[in-house]
Structure 1
Amino acid sequence: MFNNSNVSKGIEVLSIPFDHSKWDYSQLMNPNDFQWKVGITPFSNLQIVIGSWITYFVVIVGLKRFMKSRTPFTLKGVIAVHNLFLCILSAIMFGYAIIDFFKRWQERGIGECFCTSDDSSLKERDNFSALVPSFYCDPNGLDMATRCKYVC
């Protein structure tokens, strides 16, 4: 059941510090040239995904226990600013998605708006579109972004 190979893989996955020196952040600037490369695309290596999950759950459980016997904080202002930021960012992303939708429709037809063919030059843009929202919406979205394939 357990052999040295499995144990060494587990140790490799949980090794700290996380190697982010190879990350190419310039990939996030131009969605047309985006290519998913494990270990080079930011937040694409398994250590970061597992580390993010562990950190997320430790913080949630820790805060629940910490706040159990304390009075709640008043965070209405912080929450309002956060929600405003998310609304503006979502509106911008929606605007770009609509522009991209109509651009694809004109250039390649309605089929390419929903499914990307294997020979499409827009496949990288689909991967980029799946990756970016996961950074600000869902802490578990990083795992989903690492497994996304939008080829029908």
Structure 2
Amino acid sequence: MSTVIEQAVEARLVAAAPRMSTIPATLRYDMRDPFAVRMSFPAPATLEGVDVSWTFARELLAAGVREPAGSGDVRVRPYGFDRTVLEFHACEGTAIVHIRTGELRRFLSTAATLVPVGDEHLYVDLDRDLAELMRDVS
């Protein structure tokens, strides 16, 4: 059984410097980091011209498809009947993308089959995480 789910999504860029109106993005969920979702954007869609990945709570994404959620670097809210807005705030600026809500719900549903919502704590490996943190400590 795979421990990682990746799903390609089409993001419609609303506000940012790159001149791409539609960009490919990838949603990723790894049961070894059960509380997090990663969203990656390819280099041509970023200000720096390098691949960019944002990590945020799965719970934030799930809440944001229903009602506005988030107050930090990542904010999610419904938009119209079939879109969800994701806002990514950084020192360099803000990127706002629209994604079909159905795509996000499908991703969340698939992630829930891997790690049921509410059971995330059962998949946390504190010993591994602590060892990783301590690896670079001299």
Greater RCO structure (CA 8 Å; 6+ sep) = 1
Q: Same fold (TM over 0.5)?
A: no
Alignment TM-score, normalising by the size of structure 2? 0.22
Higher helix share: 1
Q: Which has the larger radius of gyration?
A: 1
Q: Which has the higher strand share?
A: 2
